[in-house]
Amino acid sequence: MIRRLPEAWRRPLAVTGLVVTAAWLIVVVAAPLLAPYDPLAQKFPRLRPPGGEHWFGTDDLGRDVLSRVLYGARLSIPLTLLLVALSVVIGGLLGACAGYFGRWVDETIMRVADLVFAFPTVILAMAVAASLGASLRNAVLAVLVVSWPAYARVTRGLVLGLRTREFVLSGRLLGFSVWRSLRTDVVPNVAGPVLVLATLDIGTQLLLLSGLSFLGLGAKPPTAEWGAMVASATQVFDKWWVGVFPGLAILTVVLAFNFLGDTLRDALDPRTARAIKERAL
């Protein structure tokens, strides 16, 4: 697997994804050093277009848009990563149990997952967030509720295929308990595809989380959150810079993680890797 990595990672989209992701991660860590002003300070002239003093302009309350975008990264990116990690753990665990044990365990878990799948994701997330009360924490919970079933389903499918694989059976015959079998034979072979799904999912979940904030169901003003910033920009539609820059921030993060996910998938899937190689020749 390691030997296949370089070819897939050398493609332009992969490099773009890596560079943009790395840049955003630096912003997450160093936002206070990079931001020229306090993101919450309302001390500047309102709705100033981008210029020398305010590169991204100022918003309707006289705050520096650049600083708010940079601080927004501190909120959105780590939160989304945490969200995806939780979805993977919850969905993966439930899916693995459903696939390995089958029967009523499988029935129960997958029917609940189907229930979630039966509703449009955004609407269900909105309903959950609204019923829990509008706050960033509840928005995260709402996204979690709609995102775990995808992992459960994928993991279940993979485990179902693995459970009857011959090396898993022969491990059991050699005296592995169910837990040891899951740990040594099943999980390591499921991890790759789930990781790919998770990376591709980071963008979707960031979008969903920002979307909830955009609708007023997540972060509350004056928090610097990208979705909420785009929402407030709708009040001053002719001042494009207020909404475009946080929007671009969302766009670049989503794209970068999608590129990473695609690359990871190609790198882990030997068939695609071969195709890349042949195209290169």
Partner 1 sequence: MTILAIEGLTVELGGRPIIRGVDLALESGNVHGLAGESGSGKTMTGLAVLGLLPHGARTGGTISLGGTDLLSLSPKEMNRRRGSEIGMVFQDQSTSLHPMLSAGRQLTDHMRHHLGLDRRRARERAVELLGKVRIPDPEGAFDRYPHQFSGGMRQRIAIAIALACEPRVLIADEPTTALDVTVQAGILRLLRDLCDDLGLAVLLVTHDLGVMSAVADVISVMRDGRLVETGPRARVMRDPADPYTRELLDALPDRSTP
Partner 2 sequence: MSLLSVEDLVVDHRSPDRPPVRAVAGVGLTVEPGEVVGLVGESGCGKSTLARAICGITAPTSGSIDFEGRPVGPLGLRRRDPALTRIQMVFQDPFASLNPRRRVGRQIADGLRGDATPGELLERVGLDADMAGRYPHEFSGGQRQRIAIARAIAAQPSLLIGDEPISALDASAQAQVAGLMRALAVESGAGLLFISHDLSVVRLIADRIAVMYLGKIVETGPTAEVWDDPKHPYTRALLAAIPEPDGSGTLPAELPGDVPNPAAPPSGCRFHPRCPHVMDVCSVREPVPRDGVACWLYDSAEPAAE
**Contact residues for partner 1, defined by CB under 8 A:** 275, 277-279, 281
Binder of partner 2 out of 137, 165, 220, 274 (CB under 8 A):
165
Peptide bond into 50 cis (omega under 30): no
Alpha-helical runs (H) found in the chain: 5-9, 12-34, 65-101, 103-117, 121-132, 136-163, 166-173, 178-181, 187-214, 226-233, 240-268, 270-280
166 binds partner 2 (CB under 8 A): yes
Of the CA atoms within 13 Å of residue 54, those in its CB half-sphere come to: 26
106 binds partner 2 (CB under 8 A): no
The three-point CA angle 183-185-186 to 5° equals 75
108 binds partner 2 (CB under 8 A): no
Phi, psi of 42 (to 5 degrees): -105, 50
In angstroms, rounded to a whole number, what is the distance separating the alpha carbons of residues 181 and 199? 26
223 binds partner 2 (CB under 8 A): no
Binder of partner 2 out of 62, 105, 172, 222 (CB under 8 A):
172
Stretch that binds partner 2, among 6-14, 121-129, 175-183, 256-264 (CB under 8 A): 175-183
> Among candidates 267, 269, 279, which has minimal Cα distance to 8?
267
Instruction: Give least dist CB 109 to partner 2, A.
Output: 17
In angstroms, rounded to a whole number, what is the distance separating the alpha carbons of residues 240 and 246? 11
Given the complex with partner 2, which of 189 and 252 has the nearer CB atom? 189
Structure tokens at 277: 């190689």
176 binds partner 2 (CB under 8 A): yes
174 binds partner 2 (CB under 8 A): yes
Q: Is 165 helix (H, G, I), strand (E, B) or coil?
A: coil
Given the complex with partner 2, which of 6 and 188 has the nearer CB atom? 188
Instruction: Give least dist CB 10 to partner 2, A.
Output: 22
Which partner in partner 2, partner 1, none is near 278 (CB below 5 to 8 A by kind)? Answer: partner 1
Q: If phi over 0 gives left and psi between -120 and 50 gives alpha, with beta otherwise, what is residue 80?
A: alpha
Binder of partner 2 out of 16, 42, 189, 252 (CB under 8 A):
189
273 binds partner 2 (CB under 8 A): no
Of the CA atoms within 13 Å of residue 41, those in its CB half-sphere come to: 10
Instruction: Give least dist CB 281 to partner 1, A.
Output: 5
158 binds partner 2 (CB under 8 A): no
173 binds partner 2 (CB under 8 A): yes
Stretch that binds partner 2, among 38-46, 87-95, 182-190, 232-240 (CB under 8 A): 182-190
Distances (CA, A) of 189 to 42, 63, 98, 153, 193: 52, 49, 16, 16, 8
DSSP for residue 190: H
Instruction: Give least dist CB 198 to partner 2, A.
Output: 18
Which partner in partner 2, partner 1, none is near 171 (CB below 5 to 8 A by kind)? Answer: partner 2
103 binds partner 2 (CB under 8 A): no
Binding residues (CB under 8 A) for partner 2: these are 165-178, 180, 184-185, 188-189
